[in-house]
Structure 1
Amino acid sequence: MSGAVQAPEVLTFGETMVALRGSGPLKLGGSMRVSVAGAESNVAIGLGRLGHRVAWAGAVGDDEAGELVLRTLRAEGVDVSGASRDDGAPTGLILFEPRLPEVTRVHYYRSGSAGSRLKACAVEAAFTAAPPRILHLTGITPALGPSALCAARRALRLAREHSTLVCLDVNFRSRLWSSEEAADVLADWMPYVDVLIASDDELPLCLPSSAPREVTGQAELLLGLGVGEIVVKYGADGAAVHTGGDELRAPARQVRAVDPVGAGDAFVAGYLSALLDGEDAAGRLDRAVTTGAFAVASHGDWEGAPTRAELPLLGAGAGTVVR
């Protein structure tokens, strides 16, 4: 006898592309390694490796590239039953071109892709099947096109209807839209957001132009708008979370940096994992900087994401409360 559908702990969606990684300048040719890449699916894989039930409801083309995306996510324990295939558009492509030890150029081929044409009905179906505890969105999806923007807006409304916690990672991409375009969309989203994750230079995109210039003032304003907590990423200087009147800081884990790509997504996966486990703010930050460090110390977007059993490999640390 079949049982009831078990709701995912986290639902996310967005564009996942086939990724080709070269060993040097593209114009010189050579071999390339084939994988997949996408901010939301990176988070989904990171959460899956940590033992959480996670679903991805993005769109891919009805092509072999799309099959690679779905096969990879399934292999990582991500539920893709809500994903859709678009027979009128291709799966997107991203090329990584390493140029210097710490500089990699990225080339997108995603205009008119299946991911940019994601429809709101796909999101509605995901909520109808089994509403998640957390909806994770990024600022990349609404920048892909009108259809993807509509799907993201619908997801926010559905999350409110189902009392689903909303996590937004700003993840600003200047190649997809301008800061003015991003601000017009993201500022309107703030009343729906429970957990906001951003780098310090991305916070202004969520606020009116008259907002304070310092991070503390910006965080206080966002809290006043109804955002539950603001997580600020400082790269090699660690991260901080603002809740109420307190700022909790955590230093970055010290590792040998190999590839910074995907570190922010790994950070988000760690933070949401600890949130689902009921950890306090210090515990959430600690796991986030740990999973972020695993990503920095490994090649690829998601390949270095740790399992739960591997988390202790980088040790544990405590944040400092700043009042």
Structure 2
Amino acid sequence: MHPSISPVRQFGGLGTVHAVDPGHRTGLYVKDPGRGVHYYRDGSAAAHLGPSDADAADLDDVAIVHVSGITAALDRLTPDGAAPAFLERLIARARAAGVPVSVDVNHRAALWAASVAAPVLRDLARRADVVFVGRDEAEALWGAATPAAIRALLPEPAELVVKDGDVGATVFTADGEIFVPAHRVDVVEAVGAGDAFAGGYLAGASAAERLQAGHDRAALTLATTADFPDPTAAGATVGAATVPAPTES
């Protein structure tokens, strides 16, 4: 239980909220370009999130609640298993408030084995309105090797987005399926591209436009080691792709 929780702050339509936990340290990961990522999150404050934290989140005027399978994995880093309770309460509150729930499966083998994660992440995905999953991670988790097989495994989400690396991404909706190819990019650093894709997708309009926006943001992230790529110049070029600058909202 965190004694101090901030109000939601808005950054270009993205709401953020933070809590102060004097009993646990902040989790950390360090990008080491060309060598990988180093994680320091065992016993972190985020691993001790609980139902009271979910209750403290202000869902007024929230368009969508986006959660990650990494949060579901964090209970394996803390004895009390609080993380799933946090997710359960947050999803329940979103449902009660009529707020759609988005889930990025985000399986991380370093946190838990596929055999352990598979049923938990499948259940989490089946209860979401929008799901992001990599084709390769779906194959590792559930043995579903194609977008169609993944959709057959997860028919419940209103929108299922299957990402297939530099090939492209497919979205399944009630109206059928749409595929949009990925940009050709000279990859500098891959860390963060998945989150950038999800952010771009969730900010888009139609399904096809959302896929394109996801590819645009992922491409910008792939082409730099910076945490905050600068796409402000109109027609920012990424490899062979010309990525449109974002519009102000």
TM-score normalised over the length of structure 2 = 0.82
Q: 2:150 aligns with which of 212, 218, 225?
A: 218
Query: Are residues 55 and 120 of structure 1, via their aligned partners in 2, closer, same or farther at CA, if it must alter by over 3 Å?
Result: farther
Taking the aligned partners of 2:235 and 2:85, their CA distance within structure 1 comes to 37
Taking the aligned partners of 1:148 and 1:124, their CA distance within structure 2 comes to 14
2:114 is aligned with 1:182: no
Taking the aligned partners of 2:133 and 2:162, their CA distance within structure 1 comes to 5
Taking the aligned partners of 1:160 and 1:8, their CA distance within structure 2 comes to 22
Q: 2:212 aligns with which of 286, 294, 303?
A: 286
Query: Are residues 7 and 228 of structure 1, via their aligned partners in 2, closer, same or farther at CA, if it must alter by over 3 Å?
Result: farther
2:225 is aligned with 1:299: yes
2:59 is aligned with 1:133: no
In structure 2, what residue type is equivalent to 1:288? G
- Unpaired segments of 5 or more residues in structure 2? 1-6, 76-80, 245-249
Highest relative contact order (Cα 8 Å, sep 6+), 1 or 2? 1
Aligned counterparts, 1:195-210, within 5 A: 195-203=130-138
2:49 is aligned with 1:118: yes
Deviations 1:97-156 (A, max 9, x none): 34xxxx4222222111111111221221114x6252200001001111111221011111
Taking the aligned partners of 1:212 and 1:124, their CA distance within structure 2 comes to 36
Assess if the C-alpha contact under 8 Å between 1:291 and 1:305 holds in 2. Answer: no
In structure 2, what residue type is equivalent to 1:227? P
2:188 is aligned with 1:264: no
Query: Are residues 8 and 219 of structure 1, via their aligned partners in 2, closer, same or farther at CA, if it must alter by over 3 Å?
Result: farther
In structure 1, what residue type is equivalent to 2:221? A
Taking the aligned partners of 1:164 and 1:311, their CA distance within structure 2 comes to 34
- Unpaired segments of 5 or more residues in structure 1? 1-5, 10-47, 57-79, 317-323
In structure 1, what residue type is equivalent to 2:45? A
In structure 2, what residue type is equivalent to 1:217? A
Q: 2:158 aligns with which of 216, 228, 231?
A: 228
In structure 2, what residue type is equivalent to 1:96? K
SS at match of 2:228: coil
Q: Where does residue 240 of structure 1 map in the other structure?
A: 170
* Shift, 1:239, TM fit: 1.1
Taking the aligned partners of 1:132 and 1:205, their CA distance within structure 2 comes to 33
Query: Are residues 245 and 261 of structure 1, via their aligned partners in 2, closer, same or farther at CA, if it must alter by over 3 Å?
Result: same
SS at match of 1:201: helix
Q: Where does residue 106 of structure 1 map in the other structure?
A: 37
Assess if the C-alpha contact under 8 Å between 2:161 and 2:171 holds in 1. Answer: yes
Taking the aligned partners of 1:204 and 1:158, their CA distance within structure 2 comes to 31
SS at match of 1:137: strand
Q: Where does residue 19 of structure 2 map in the other structure?
A: 84
Query: Are residues 239 and 124 of structure 1, via their aligned partners in 2, closer, same or farther at CA, if it must alter by over 3 Å?
Result: same
TM-score normalised over the length of structure 1 = 0.64
Assess if the C-alpha contact under 8 Å between 2:136 and 2:145 holds in 1. Answer: no
2:187 is aligned with 1:250: no
Q: Where does residue 151 of structure 1 map in the other structure?
A: 86
Q: Which moved more, 1:193-202 or 1:87-96?
A: 87-96
Taking the aligned partners of 1:132 and 1:8, their CA distance within structure 2 comes to 12
* Shift, 1:222, TM fit: 1.6
2:15 is aligned with 1:55: yes
Taking the aligned partners of 2:184 and 2:144, their CA distance within structure 1 comes to 32
* Shift, 1:240, TM fit: 1.2
* Shift, 1:244, TM fit: 3.1
* Shift, 1:245, TM fit: 6.0
Deviations 1:50-103 (A, max 9, x none): x32x223xxxxxxxxxxxxxxxxxxxxxxx3xx1111111112223334xxxx4
2:31 is aligned with 1:96: yes
Aligned length: 229
2:114 is aligned with 1:172: no
In structure 2, what residue type is equivalent to 1:195? V
Query: Are residues 143 and 248 of structure 1, via their aligned partners in 2, closer, same or farther at CA, if it must alter by over 3 Å?
Result: same
Taking the aligned partners of 2:215 and 2:84, their CA distance within structure 1 comes to 30
Q: Where does residue 74 of structure 1 map in the other structure?
A: none
